[in-house]
Amino acid sequence: MIAKQKSIKKTAEPVHPECMGMLRPIRDALNVLNGKWKLPIIVALTFGEKRFGEISKEVHGITDRMLSKELRDLEINGLVKRTVEDAYPVKVTYTLTPHSKSLNGVIESLRKWGILHRKNILQRSLKK
């Protein structure tokens, strides 16, 4: 007979209110931007309105199914606007919303940090 292990309950909330004040908005942001595709999609749309196929070509490696899901999530969160033009054939385009422009500083900071991090890793690997 296998003995049941007592589960150790971890507290979900940090002990310090200051910590919680920092973590809650970060969690909110990460919940919206999580995954490996949302930020690349936003960056692709930074350069203007695009159709589905254009986004797919710019975001290398994403499947059509995943792109569709991620665009839907970004639309639900108010970061992307989907426009359907009633024509034949139907034309669907995607653009960033004014709210998504508030991410520009975050994206630029991530880009700069990525450059710095890559240099750091390359320097460390050359020293070995």
Question: Is residue 2 assigned to a domain?
Answer: no
What does the pLDDT read at residue 11? 56
Q: Is the pLDDT of residue 41 over 50?
A: yes
In this structure, is residue 10 part of a structural domain?
A: no
How far apart are the C-alpha atoms of 64 and 56, rounded to whole Å?
Answer: 7
pLDDT recorded at residue 9 = 56
Which CATH number fits the domain that encloses residue 87? 1.10.10.10
Query: What ranges in 37-100 are assigned the alpha helix state H?
Result: 38-46, 52-58, 64-76
Q: How confident is the model at residue 17 (pLDDT cuts 50, 70, 90)?
A: confident
Q: Is residue 60 part of a domain?
A: yes
Q: In what order do the strands lie in the sheet with 50-51?
A: 50-51, 91-96, 80-85
Q: How confident is the model at residue 84 (pLDDT cuts 50, 70, 90)?
A: very high
Is residue 62 over pLDDT 80? yes
Looking only at Cα atoms, what is the longest distance across the chain?
68
CB 31 within 8 A of CB 2: no
Q: What is the mean pLDDT of residues 53-80?
A: 97
Q: Look at the chain and report how many structural domains it folds into.
A: 1
Q: What is the mean pLDDT of residues 97-116?
A: 95
Structural domain harbouring 28: 22-127
Query: Under a CB-based contact definition with an 8 Å cutoff, are residues 50 and 94 in contact?
Result: yes
What pLDDT, on a 0 to 100 scale, did the predictor assign at position 12? 60
Write down the pLDDT at residue 1. 47
What own/partner pairs with CB < 8 Å and gap ≥ 24 does 44-47 have? 45/80, 45/94, 45/95, 45/96, 45/100, 46/96, 46/104, 46/107
Q: Is the pLDDT of residue 94 over 80?
A: yes
Report how far residue 89's alpha carbon sits from residue 18's, in angstroms, rounded to the nearest whole number: 54
- In contact, 49 and 93? CB cutoff 8 Å: yes
Q: What is the rounded average pLDDT for all residues in the chain? A: 89
